[in-house]
Amino acid sequence: MKKIGIEIPCFNEEGNVEVVYQQVSKQMKMLPIYDYEILFIDNHSDDKTPQILRDIAEKDKHVKVIFNLRNYGAERSDVHGFFHTDGDAVICMACDLQTPASLLPAFLREWEKGAKVVWAQKINSEESWFMWKIRSLYYYIIRKMSSVKQYDQITGFGLYDREVIEYIRRAHDPNPLFRNIVPELGFEPALIPFEQPARHSGRSSYNFFSYYNLAMASLINTSRVPLHLATLVGFLIGGVSFLIGAIYLVLKLAFWQYFPMGTAPILIGMFFLGGVQLCFIGFVGAYVGEILARLTHYPRVIERERLNFDNDAEQGSVG
């Protein structure tokens, strides 16, 4: 019997965790041809989420739980849970119920047809119109700058065959972004369209800076265009500055008494060049930070406790 793992990261989801457990269990019980496990990885929640997870794990041995020693960030926690979920295939989904459990049978149908990766692709969302447009712009930029095919409105919600999981593991990426690394590896995902519902309960822990960091990480991991763009813009600004300087010199020599140089053009040019330099220094710094992350080899997560794992010696492990 094939086994399916469902990995669900959570942080302060006391209003959602019981509901998502019920929905996932209902879907999997309707598919008796599969064995399954549900792995919740709790990123050091400070509400009632840990106690709810303990109650669920006590009554249902299909449920496994990892409690992190501290909050390591959503991406690191998610990836750690992904690599510690057992099964011939693993399904990643969010705890906020914006990734409907009703899609699980569709994922498994595509997997049985031979797809190694099955992704849910948003065709609409109940989030704000402004956020939808910002996300669309982000995906457009990533698609245009990447050297490999990228997919719009993909969050990583979907199914991954064990073969794909092992390839991702061997990449030794400290923070693999599934929607970027899968096309890089060459797998062609099957896409299932869905409309993203609103968050069921609570508020997202993501803020502007979280989304910005995620967008920058995605851009850096998929493209070297910003580095080439920095060189190109440097040449263009140097050429334009030389041309403007030559024009100013000619005008000043021709109309010495009537053409004051002034300080405004100099100040504007300085601020403009300073802004461009800071922008591209930021890009270079982001690439250097990515190199540093790959060299330090810190564990993604240190676990505080595990529930319902067969090997109790694994408690407190790192990954």
Across the beta sheet with 303-307, what order do the strands follow? Answer: 190-196, 117-125, 154-161, 89-92, 3-10, 35-42, 63-68, 303-307
% the chain with pLDDT above 90? 44
212 vs 140, higher pLDDT: 140
Q: Give Cα 299 to chain centroid, integer Å.
A: 18
pLDDT of amino acid 194? 92
- Interval 184-237: pLDDT, tens: 888 999 999 998 887 767 676 666 666 677 777 777 777 777 766 777 777 777
Q: From CA 116, how far away is CA 164, in angstroms rounded?
A: 7
3-state secondary structure at position 8? strand
φ/ψ of 92, rounded to 5, equals: -100, 135
Tokens of 300: 């993604």
- Only one residue has tokens 């910005």, namely 212
Q: Is the dihedral of CA 300, 203, 181, 295 positive or negative?
A: negative
Q: Which two tokens stand for residue 129?
A: 């119109």
Q: What is the pLDDT of residues 304-315, one digit of tens each?
A: 999 999 764 444
Query: Which amino acid type is present at position 214?
Result: L
Cα angle 52, 55, 60; round to 5: 125
b/e sequence 44-70, b meaning 16+ C-beta within 10 Å:
bbeeebbebbeebbeeeebbbbbbbee
C-alpha to C-alpha distance for 37 and 5, rounded to whole angstroms: 5
Question: What CATH code is assigned to 3-205+300-314?
Answer: 3.90.550.10
What number of other Cβ atoms are within 10 A of residue 301's Cβ?
A: 26
* pTM of the predicted model as reported, rounded to 2 decimal places: 0.77
Q: What is the mean pLDDT of residues 102-122?
A: 95
